Amino acid sequence: MDEEKKLYIGNLEFGVTEDEIRKFIEEKGVTVKEVKIINDKFTGKSKGFGFAEFETEEQATQAIEALDGKELNGRTMRVSKARKMQPRTGTGRRDDFGGGGFGGGKFRR
């Protein structure tokens, strides 16, 4: 997706579908090229946000103006230009906790 034509859509109701988002956008008079809801890789359920791509940067700007702050299925959407994904840093481990284990050594009855 071209970053200038791609929008982040947040605060989505967890049951909303890509087709519902597409229809909502097109009802506002903007043609959308692609809609993608992001799902949790383990549960398969929506994470409550997604992305929409448009043919032109002007359409993306129109969509922000038409959609940001609007309600869809009881949730107020947050719409903005998508940002490039930043590479993750660190090991993913939490360093603020000490060792592990149960201590003690011997098993007692």
> Which CATH number is 29's domain given?
3.30.70.330
37 in a structural domain: yes
> Would 86 be classed as within a structural domain?
no
What string of pLDDT tens digits covers the 109 residues of the chain? 567 899 999 999 999 999 999 999 999 999 999 999 999 999 999 999 999 999 999 999 999 999 999 999 999 999 999 998 777 676 555 555 555 555 555 655 6
- Residue 58 placed within a domain: yes
Write phi, then psi, for 96 (nearest 5 degrees).
Answer: -90, 0
**pTM for the whole thing?**
0.76
Which residue do the tokens 């992305």 mark? 51
Contact 90, 32 (CB under 8 A): no
- Asked whether residue 89 is assigned to any structural domain, the reply reads no
CA 15 to chain centre: 14
- How many folded domains does the chain comprise? 1
Which residues is 12 bridged to in the sheet?
A: none
With respect to residue 98, please indicate whether it lies within any of the assigned structural domains: no
What domain range includes position 63? 3-81
Residue 97 lies in a domain: no
C-alpha triplet 9, 14, 19: angle, nearest 5°: 65
Q: What is the rounded distance in angstroms from the CA atom of residue 34 to the CA atom of residue 105?
A: 59
In terms of Cα–Cα distance, which of 62, 43, 42, 60 is closest to 51? 60
